[in-house]
Amino acid sequence: MSLATIYKEIKHELNAIEKLLETVVEADQDILTQASSQLLKAGGKRMRPIMVLLAAQYGERDREDVRKIAVALELIHMASLVHDDVIDNSEMRRGQQTVKSRWDNRVAMYTGDYIFSRSLKLASEIEIPEVHQILSHTMKEISLGEIEQIEDQYNWTQNVRTYFLRIKRKTALLMAISCQLGAIAAGAPEKVCRHLYYFGYYTGMSYQIIDDVLDFTATEKQLGKPAASDIKQGNVTLPTLIALRKENTAERLMTALKKGDKKTHDWDAIIQLIKDSGSTSEAEKVSTQYIKKAYDQLTYLPQTKTTKHMERIADYISKRKY
């Protein structure tokens, strides 16, 4: 299952989004222009704009506000990626050098700030107070998630609930509001907006869990960045947490994680222990449970072509291999 059918269907609208993205981040400054256009060119699946555009089909889809929301949310996503690369000290993303690697952390910080401010500028043109409240609440939650990610790094004894809250803030909320705000901007009924919010939320949870699984199971080429970089950076994800709770693995894994420090850990052995524990397929099951919840939300919506597309998105997310 791929997103091709959807891309084809909303091609014109997506092209308009792409153009608006380019226009919005244009700047007079060399560094900014280069950094922003590198980010744009690196692409990405534009999941959030797609969600906005599809959600808008439950209302009056052609509104200018819909396009602004789509671009604003993609920019927020891009800005948070740039800042994440600083936190994770990442050199590569989507097969491209990161901003922090091509320039430095300071440039990455301010490029993020700039892209974020452009997003705000666009959002400020939307005269629906609810939109601003939802956006600013989400921004707060995202930044809390970012700080938590630092606080929880290398904390191998953390609660699984901590992980779920973190990925909610890191990923699921932005997808939730992509669906919700697309519908709100298009003037869709309140009930529809609510179910779309939860559809986006569950889909986002599933998406991030799969991401965390793939970090262990996919190749460097598939990922566009070194494999197993999460755990090496101290980011404790679901496969690790499950492995740490498995009878046959827990003790050996914890011993390996306690031996030495992050620089002297035998990462290859640690990663192999986690893979061998079968925890990645258990994590996949958790992801599938979330996708089921996402499907469930769709049953409350009108059974249209759009809802079929939403199903395709959930399907793609649950089955993607990289």
Q: In the complex, which residues of this chain contact a copy of itself (CB under 8 A)?
A: 27-32, 83, 86-87, 105-107, 109-111, 113-114, 116-118, 120-121, 123-125, 127, 129, 132-133, 135-137, 139-140, 142-144, 146-148, 150-151
- Please identify, using beta-carbon distances, which residue of 143 and 281 lies nearer to a copy of itself: 143
Closest approach of a copy of itself to the CB of residue 306, in Å: 29
CA 98, CA 115: separation in Å to the nearest integer?
A: 15
Q: Which is nearer to a copy of itself, 153 or 288 (CB)?
A: 153
Question: DSSP letters along 179-229, please?
Answer: HHHHHHHTT--HHHHHHHHHHHHHHHHHHHHHHHHHHHHS-HHHHTS-TTH
Report in angstroms how near the CB of residue 151 gets to a copy of itself at its nearest.
6
Indicate the DSSP class of residue 1. Answer: -
> Minimum distance from CB of 187 to a copy of itself (Å)?
18
Q: Can you tell me the distance from the alpha carbon of 13 to that of 53, in angstroms, rounded to the nearest whole number?
A: 8
| Shortest distance in whole angstroms from residue 133 CB to a copy of itself | 5
Buried/exposed 161-184: b ≥16 CB within 10 Å, e otherwise: eebbbbbbbbbbbbbbbbbbbbbb
Q: How far apart are the C-alpha atoms of 173 and 120, rounded to whole Å?
A: 17
Q: Which two tokens stand for residue 142?
A: 């995202």
Secondary structure class of 63 (helix, strand, coil): coil
Name the residue nearer to a copy of itself (CB basis): 27 or 256: 27
Q: Measured from the CB of residue 305, what is the shortest distance to a copy of itself in angstroms? A: 34
HSE at residue 54, side-chain half, CA atoms within 13 A, is 34
d(CA 243, CA 240): 5
In the complex, what is the shortest distance from the CB of residue 69 to a copy of itself, in angstroms, rounded to a whole number? 15
Q: Shortest Cβ distance from residue 120 to a copy of itself (Å)?
A: 4
Cβ 107 to a copy of itself, closest distance in Å? Answer: 6
Pick the closer one to a copy of itself by CB: 136 or 255.
136
CB of 51 to a copy of itself, least distance (A): 22
Is 77 or 312 the residue whose CB approaches a copy of itself more closely?
77
Smaller CB separation from a copy of itself, 70 or 242: 70
Taking Cα atoms as reference points, which of 318, 314, 259 lies closest to residue 50? 314
CA distance 311 to 297: 10
For residue 103, the tally of other CB atoms under 10 A from its CB is 17
Alpha-carbon span 256 to 277, nearest angstrom: 14
Nearer to a copy of itself, 146 or 284 (CB): 146
Q: List the one residue out of 40, 41, 47 whose CA is nearest residue 78.
A: 40
Nearest residue to 77 (alpha-carbon basis) of 49, 38, 98: 49
- Our CB check for a copy of itself shows the closer of 32 and 160 to be 32
Closer by beta carbon to a copy of itself, 60 or else 104? 104
